[in-house]
Amino acid sequence: MATTQTEEPVSSPPADARLPMTGVRVIDVGTFLAGPYAASILAEFGAEVLKVEHPIAGDPMRHFGTATKRHDATLAWLSEARNRKSVTLDLHQKRGIELFLQLVAKSDVLIENFRPGTMESWGLSWDVLREVNPGLVMLRVSGYGQTGPYRTRSGFSHIAHSFGGLSYLAGFPGESPVTPGTSPLGDYVSSIFGAIGILVALRHKQKTGRGQVIDVGIYEAVFRILDELPAAYGLFGKVREREGSGSFIAVPHGHFRCKDGRWVAIACTTQKMFERFTQVMQRPELNSSSMYGEQAKRLAARDEVNAIVNEWTGSFTRDEVMKLCIDGEVPVGKLNSIQDIFEDEHFKFRGNLVELEDDGAGKVTVPGVVPRLSETPGRITNLGPPLGDSTYEVLIGLLGVSAEEIADLRRRRVV
């Protein structure tokens, strides 16, 4: 694998030296989130990520979301482009392509998320890249994948939620389907699958020396997390419809409003849980065989059961409902706003909120590293970098480009 340094071992190695991905170099040439987030995951565990951007505007995600005092960085950029070095190259110019291929030759992983055919139009097909670096692992994320009749269609997370079958399930019975949350879930999930693919491919490279392409369609990452939906339709022709905040497998299993206007989530997925819940509500008769003591009866009387629960939660504050359910071992959770999350002791204890200082934007709080490793925990070294902050460092230190040529490249806007 490519390494970032060749110095001799010392008694006190740098903090990154023990991280499992140290020594792996990743080129992130994508834009926005689907695909590039995979690079963020790898970087948190030691990989060196070179973010290759156009020298004029950079990644459009720099201007997507809430603006900050930094002209080239929104909060989305600062949070999700963390742990990177920004290198500017114009891949529409010959010298830009040449320098990019030199970077590929010295790297382990390349991540791109353009519409299929874009890289090829720049002369950067897989065959060309593989010739430069036979061990290269290439992650390609696109709306519909690299093959198939829809391959050239543009795709975003919102479209993937719809096409992949998730949005159809979101909303209340008989009402318009809704977006399943404002977070671009498909972008994150496709990137997580992409990161898994990269790790598997690097393992294969260790064994054989050969790289390979990882092809992820955002829609299929969404489709993959729809539990038994495909099996139920294939076997029984069952089409699951929108069920609001509930679940087709259990009841009560949903969101319930409390006296103070706040909400809780309650999940009674087993008979034992429902029995405990009836004790907590001081309504043990609800668990009798003549009422709702059997799962099939509860499911058939879903609206009645939920109405009873709503009436009960509506007579207590959220904190009171939480205490009663927790004491009675009934699965319950707050429906947290982001304000609730910032105030929650568990989020604080687990380090789920990390505050970092940015020279332009000030103190910015971002999500912590997931997953949590006992021996080699990940870390955040920096927020989304300024455009081109590491261009000189990489071109001079890694590729041996002279300062004179860099000056010329700047004049021609190649970097």
Which residues are catalytically annotated?
187
Environment class of residue 176 by beta-carbon count within 10 Å: exposed (0-12), middle (13-18) or buried (19+)? exposed
Environment class of residue 392 by beta-carbon count within 10 Å: exposed (0-12), middle (13-18) or buried (19+)? middle
- On whether the CB atoms of residues 366 and 380 are closer than 8 A, the answer is yes
Compute the distance between CA of residue 181 and CA of residue 189 in angstroms, rounded to an integer: 14
- On whether the CB atoms of residues 364 and 358 are closer than 8 A, the answer is yes
Q: 134 to each of 96, 126, 142, how far by Cα in Å?
A: 21, 10, 23
- On whether the CB atoms of residues 254 and 265 are closer than 8 A, the answer is yes
For 346, the 3-state DSSP assignment is helix
Which pair of structure tokens corresponds to residue 79? 């949070």
Q: Which of 126, 132, 161 is nearest to 147 (CA)?
A: 126
- On whether the CB atoms of residues 185 and 161 are closer than 8 A, the answer is yes
The single-letter code of the amino acid at 79 is S
Helices 318-327 and 271-280: angle between axes, nearest 10 degrees: 120
- On whether the CB atoms of residues 78 and 364 are closer than 8 A, the answer is yes
| Start-end of H helices in 314-354 | 318-327, 338-343, 345-349
